[in-house]
Structure formats: C-alpha cells, structure tokens
Amino acid sequence: FSQAGIPFEVVPGVTSAFAVPAYNGIPVTHRDYTSSVHIITGHRRKKQEQASLFLHRNIADTAENICAENSSADRDSASSATGIDFEALVRLNGTLIFLMALSSLSSIMEGLLSAGMDPGMPAAVLEKGTTSKQRRILATVSTLAEEAARARAEAPSIIVVGDVCCLAERFSWYDRLADRPLAGKKILVTRPREMAAQTADRLRRLGAEVLELPAIETLPVSPNPALDACLANWVDPFPDSWKNAFPDEDENSCDRKQVNSVRDQVNSVRNRIRDFGSPDWLVFTSPTGVRVFMDAFLDRYDVRNLLHTKIAVIGEGSREALFRYGLRASFMPSVYDGETLGRELAQRIREDRKRHAPSDCESEMIAALIAAPLIDPFVDPDVRAFPPRQEKTEGTSAVRILIPRAAKGGRELVEELEKAGDVRIIDLPTYDTVYARSGIVDIRAQIRDGQVDQVIFTSASTVRGFCSVMGEKTDLSGISAVCIGRQTAAAAEAVGMQTKTARTATLEALIEAVVTAAVTARDGLKLDVTVN
C-alpha cells in the first residue's frame, strides 16, 4: 500500500500463533513449563538464500534477551531445506510455534532432533484453528510427522513444540462445546448488518461458527417528498401551501445506491397523497419500516398524533420495533407474511364496518355529540388537546390505509387489502433495499467446497442478494437454506436450493429450524429446541 501511495491504518489484533493454541487448550507460556514463546515462519520465499528467523518473546520470569543467529545454509540437510537454525531454537528452551509450515513438517522435526531436542518433547499440529472444523493432533517431536500424515492434516495448520502441549487435554474448553446442538456447524447469516449480530450471537451460543455476510442493505429513501407530504397532511388534511413546502430536490442529492425508479415511485405517490389526511390504518411490514417512518414522524409530531390511527404489523419483529416507541399494535396476522396480513386485515376492516354502522337513532346521537363543545382533557392549559377525528367529506368514506415499506414490496398485501372494498391505499416507499457486496470475504469458494452447512434467509430480497453475490452460473442445488417464511422459501427453491421453513416468522422459530435441520442431517433425529 505504501509503495502504491494508498492510505492505510493498522488495527492490532490477536495473532493466530496465540489464538489457535488457546482454542485448543494450549497456553503458549506457563510458569511451570516455559517463560518464552517464539514464532517462526516455516515457509520462505523462493530464491531466498537464507530464511529469517522471526522471534516474538513473552518473558514471564526473566528479562534476558535471547538473540537468534542467522541460519547457515550448509549446516545440515534440514537447515538447508528450511533455512532455520535449529540449534539456536533448541537452546532457547521455549515454546516454538511454526506458521505456514505443514509442508515442511518432516524437515522441521528432523532438524530439531538433529539439533539435540528430546525426542519425547510434546508437539502438536493444530488444523483450521478457531473454526468449527478445527482439529488437534498431539504427539511428540519424533512421531508428529508420522501422526499428521496418518491423520491427513490439511492447511491451514500451525505447529506447536514445547512442554505446554501436554496441557491441551486439561484446558481444552472448546471441545466441551461438542454437546451443543450446532457444534461443528458453519452457518452463513445473510440478514442486513444491523440485524445480523443478534442472530449470530444466538447461533454461537448453540455452538455454531457463524459467518456474517449481509446480502442486502436497507437505505432510507432520501429525499422523500411523498413522506414529507404525508406528514404535512397529518394534522391539516388540506394544507394550502403543501406544493411549495417541499421543493424538488436536486437529483444528485439522492443516495447513489438508490436507482431512479425509486425516485419516480416516490414522486408518483406524492401526487396521490394531496387529500389523504391522517390514515385509519398504519401498516408496517418490517422493523426497518417501523424505524424509518417513526423517526420521521417523531421529528415533526409525538405519539399523541396517532390517537385516531390503528396500527397493524406483519409479525413479532415489527411489533417489538413498534413497542420501542411506546406503541402497541392493534392487529397482527396469524401467519407472518404479506398475503395473510392483507387478507386478515381486510376481514377485520369489513367486521369493523358492520360493528360500527350506526342506526338512525345512533346517527342523531352522534350528530349531537359532534355539535357539543370539545372538552380539553388536559389540566395544563398550555398542553394542546388532541385534534378531533377528521370528518370524511362526501365521496371520501373509504378506509384510508398507509403502508410505509420497502420500495420493492410485493403486491400481495395491497391486492388482498383492496378486496375489503371501499379502501384507499397509499403504498409509501420509505426505504430501499439494495444488494450488498463484501470485498473482504469471498463466500463462493466455501459454498462450492461444501464448507458452509446452512444459509439463513429472512426475506426473498436476501435470497436475491445472495444470488447476486454468487453469480448467475453458480450451482445452488447443494445449499441447505433455512427460511423464515413461505415467500422466502419459494424464492430459494426457485433457484434450486434445498429449503427448510420456520414454523412461524420469528427469530426463535428460525433458530429452532436451524437446529432441527442440523440434528436431522447429523443423525436423523428431530429436536424441539427452546432458545433462551
């Protein structure tokens, strides 16, 4: 980077030379065994006459500095093959850690023995450390090469030589996770970044190795003149200056990730919202929809302005997001998908009409109540009373439904709501879903090699985003997809994936489906799992 003139910064981390032994129960230093640790590269560059010996010391009991000598290319065959001064290493009398050395394992062990190391010195090959596939091969310096060959050890592996290797069985904490239902499983989570951590944490507590690779990213539509107009109409249904209140924004001010079609969709909705006023029903189809709308709403009003509006949510996640704003949902469907939400909410609207249809006598009473003076329910005269329910003028008796959701929302919800009859629906795009790409992790090779046991999908858009990352020509038939609902499963099956669907569209049910699929794949048993 420095040679190319590219700015960079270094974020310190834990070296694999320490982390991998720790995951295998091997402390690299121990006061009863050794006070120093030394890290050696076991793979040198081609054409390099002498390999460098890299030493990192962790001195616990002494301040003595031990210097390593440069290797001699003709000292013996082992030193010549590896470029390592084995006599210097043996004199150190500390823990030796060899990185990138599996292909040179035999030469390294021969070199240590030739330099006078005790043949019975404990040694280990630690394969794929810190992953769900990690493996530990314990032996001695004289037998490690043979044992590793018999076990067919694979890279990436590190080699540890020293008395501390005998502590592996005693301190092997990771092996004790083997009785957890997801132990040894590698699971890919495709949820948006802001939601992936919660899912990943629960899976890790069940023993899984989790790879977070968000397939989609949610971006608030900005600018959003349709949402601005909707909020401007909330209290005053016919503002005289609404057209001038929100001038057209420069197209360059839109988020670069949002396509022009989203802007056109927003402007189309804005033109239909002029006389919409406050909705009778506010319908949320995702936690993101709740957050984006409520944040914009509370920038202008407070929750009291929702007094006359009922709220419907698609499922538990949206209900929990709504509750964080101090609001409770009036309606939630029996099955958490858009089609069921639309069908059951339409039935609720029809039932409400029948229940509230006034008789002639009731109509006279209502007229008298409307004519009565409004009583301020607040003791503090400085606190403004709730505005009365907006009266629907002639020809506007339709139930008004506002749906703030993703720009690419499915049509099933709106189509089912329209079956209620005499409804006016504003399908308001408040955020856009774009496919996310990571330049850090290339998952395609791991999928192709069967290293990923399950992939979790929480929406059809996560399936499409994942397919975008994988590429059109990738065979997805070997992927075990765990899906949160029927529509998500249908999207996964359409591209050839094997699917398992959660019994309900909740995080708990989704994780239960992951565990059930893992246990079934392992031994054919099904397990009813409760996640705390």
Q: Identify the CA nearest to 209 among candidates 521, 520, 514, 522.
A: 514
Distance CA 317, CA 451 (A): 30
Residue 70 lies in a domain: no
Asked if residue 166 and residue 192 are part of one domain, the reply reads no
Report CA-CA distances (Å) from 284 to 272, 287, 290, 494.
20, 8, 6, 27
- Assign residue 169 the CATH number of its domain: 3.30.950.10
Residue 402 pLDDT: 95
Residue 301 lies in a domain: yes
Residue 288 lies in a domain: yes
Asked if residue 226 and residue 270 are part of one domain, the reply reads yes
Asked if residue 118 and residue 191 are part of one domain, the reply reads no
Distance CA 530, CA 181 (A): 12
Distance CA 247, CA 223 (A): 10
Both tokens of residue 280? Answer: 């009778």
What does the DSSP assignment read for 191-223? S-HHHHHHHHHHHHHTT-EEEE--SEEEEE-SS
Residue 251 lies in a domain: no
Residue 273 pLDDT: 66
Q: Using DSSP bridges, classify how beta strands 454-457 and 122-127 pair: parallel, antiparallel or unpaired.
A: unpaired
Residue 439 pLDDT: 56
3-state SS of 286-308 is: CHHHHHHHHHHHHHHCCHHHHCC
> Are the C-beta atoms of residues 424 and 401 closer than 8 Å to each other?
yes
Asked if residue 226 and residue 154 are part of one domain, the reply reads no
CB count, 10 Å around CB of 341? 28
Asked if residue 276 and residue 415 are part of one domain, the reply reads yes
How does 132-168 read in b/e, with b if 16+ C-beta sit within 10 Å? bebebbbbbbbebbebbeeeebeeebbbbbbbbbebb
Phi, psi of 313 (to 5 degrees): -130, 155
> Are the C-beta atoms of residues 88 and 66 closer than 8 Å to each other?
no
Asked if residue 154 and residue 298 are part of one domain, the reply reads no
Report CA-CA distances (Å) from 510 to 165, 184, 332, 432.
40, 19, 19, 24
Phi, psi of 444 (to 5 degrees): -60, -45
Asked if residue 316 and residue 173 are part of one domain, the reply reads no
Residue 285 pLDDT: 94
**Beta-bridge mates of residue 310:** 281
Distance CA 279, CA 271 (A): 17
Residue 416 lies in a domain: yes
What does the DSSP assignment read for 233-267? TTTSSS-TTHHHHSPPPPGGGS-TTS-HHHHHHHH
**Looking at 372-443, which runs of residues are DSSP E strands?**
399-406, 423-435
> Are the C-beta atoms of residues 456 and 492 closer than 8 Å to each other?
no
Residue 424 burial (10 A CB sphere; 0-12, 13-18, 19+): middle
Number of domains composing the chain: 3
Task: Provide the domain limits for residue 512.
Answer: 186-215+437-523
Asked if residue 481 and residue 409 are part of one domain, the reply reads no
Asked if residue 42 and residue 169 are part of one domain, the reply reads yes
Distance CA 271, CA 29 (A): 71
Asked if residue 204 and residue 135 are part of one domain, the reply reads no
**Domain-ending residue, one of 430, 447, 479:** 430
> Are the C-beta atoms of residues 205 and 197 closer than 8 Å to each other?
no
- Assign residue 293 the CATH number of its domain: 3.40.50.10090
Amino acid at 406: A
Asked if residue 139 and residue 20 are part of one domain, the reply reads yes
Residue 244 lies in a domain: no
Distance CA 407, CA 255 (A): 14
Q: Which residues contact 183 (CB under 8 A, 6 or more apart)?
A: 132, 177, 207, 208
Residue 308 pLDDT: 85
Distance CA 429, CA 434 (A): 14
**Domain-ending residue, one of 177, 195, 229:** 177
Residue 77 pLDDT: 53
Q: How many residues are present in the chain?
A: 532
Mean pLDDT by 10 residues, the chain (532 residues): 90 94 96 94 59 39 35 47 85 95 94 96 96 93 97 96 96 86 92 88 93 89 89 59 43 49 64 73 95 93 87 94 94 91 96 73 50 44 42 64 90 94 92 76 78 92 90 87 92 95 90 91 52 38
Asked if residue 448 and residue 338 are part of one domain, the reply reads no
Residue 368 lies in a domain: no
Residue 136 lies in a domain: yes
Distance CA 286, CA 195 (A): 12
